[in-house]
Every structure is written in structure tokens, then in C-alpha cells.
Amino acid sequence: MGTGPPQLHRRLIGTVSLLAAAGLRVSSWKRLGGAALAAALLALFSGSSAGSATRDGVELTFTENAVVYAMNDARAEHGVPRLKVNEDLIRAARFHSKDMVERQYFEHGPFGERLRRFGFKTGTIGENLGWLNNDKLAAPRLIRMWLRSPSHREVLLSTRLRVVGVGIRVGPFMGWDRAVVVTVDFWSP
């Protein structure tokens, strides 16, 4: 079944409704950059809640995919090459986000050791963490926060770091009933 103009029109109206339901006015889209609109469009046009799969079939969730898209959008705006997704980095990032939620802590810890356990024994590594108590538009909000922080910005916009894995865990965290906990692991050979 193709997507003709009537279906496209309904989906675009759905995008506006989705963004409005998330509390984002049309005038805010430009301020957030294209990430919020792109995340909503990705959800509407993908036909599923999952994102893209890697070579080994590790599938990014919608929110993980939105974070990758938003990071690449920010990197492109700053003239930095796009990130490529790696299944082992996804596994490492998911492991850490899950551990933080289950054990109720928020820190990097010895992430070099953790990444070595997932196969990254050489190369350059980096990591950004974030959490929000609301998953509506988590990706653009996290990217804005990381761009405002000098150390997070340095990792996000590093020209050396070109491979990424995103892991998100949603659950009770730091006194909130529902929080989005994000680990982003970066690597370059």
C-alpha cells in the first residue's frame, strides 16, 4: 500500500498533533533545530516503534535512534562528520544504562574497562550520560544540554570519535517514577 497525498497529509497533521501533545509549539521547532521535527517524522513514517538495525541485527529503539539522529544533526551543523552506529557499543551503552537504573546511581565509572569487556581494547573512547524525568522529546533536550556543557560538547563534536552506541533504559530513577537514562559510548580506531 503506497503513501499517496491523502495519507501524507494525515501523517503531517499527525506530526503537528504529536509535537503539540508533547508541548512543543510550531515556533519552538526552529529553536530546537531539526531534531524534534525529524524525530516525530521518523516515528510517523517508519511505521514501527523501532529504529534502524545494525549489520548484526541489533535494533535501535525509537528513542535511541532519535538520539543518534539528533547527535548527527548537531555534528553536521558544526561541520563534524556523522557518527556510524556499532552494535557492540549499543550493547555496552545499554548495559550501563540498565545498571544505573537498577542500582540507582549516575556516573561514568571506569567506562574504559567496561568498553574493553565489550571488545574495544584499542582506539579513542568517549562517553556522555544524561537523564530526564520525561521522555517527551528526550533526544533534542539531551543534545541541547550536552552542547551547553564544555566537556560533553567536546565529546559530542569530536572529529576523532566517529563510531557510536546509544543505550537507553526507562524506569524509576532518582526518586522519579519514570525517567529516561541515556548512555552514549563513542569510539574511533
Q: Which of 40-49, 59-68, 84-93, 119-128 has the lowest mean pLDDT?
A: 40-49
d(CA 139, CA 135): 9
Distance from the Cα of residue 62 to its chain's centroid:
9
- Strands 59-61 and 176-188 turn out to be unpaired
What is residue 141's three-state secondary structure? helix
Q: Which of 18-22, 77-81, 113-117, 157-161 has the lowest mean pLDDT?
A: 18-22
d(CA 6, CA 14): 12
Give, as one character, the DSSP assignment of residue 172. Answer: E
Among left, alpha and beta (phi > 0; psi -120 to 50; other), residue 126 is beta
Q: For residue 1, list its beta bridge partners.
A: none
Q: pTM value? A: 0.73
> Are 58 and 68 a contacting pair, CB within 8 Å?
no
Give, as one character, the DSSP assignment of residue 158. Answer: -
pLDDT average, residue stretch 95-101: 98
What is residue 69's three-state secondary structure? helix
What does the H/E/C string look like for 92-128? Answer: HHHHHHHHHHHHCCCCCCCHHHHHHHCCCCCCEEEEE
> Are 87 and 54 a contacting pair, CB within 8 Å?
yes
Cβ neighbour number for residue 76 with a 10 Å cutoff: 12
**Confidence class of residue 102 from pLDDT cuts 50, 70 and 90?**
very high
Between CA 114 and CA 121, with CA 120 as vertex, the angle to 5 degrees is 100
Overall size of the chain counted in residues: 189
What DSSP string runs through 23-54?
Answer: T--HHHHHHHTTHHHHHHHHHHHHSSSEEEE-
pLDDT number for residue 72: 98
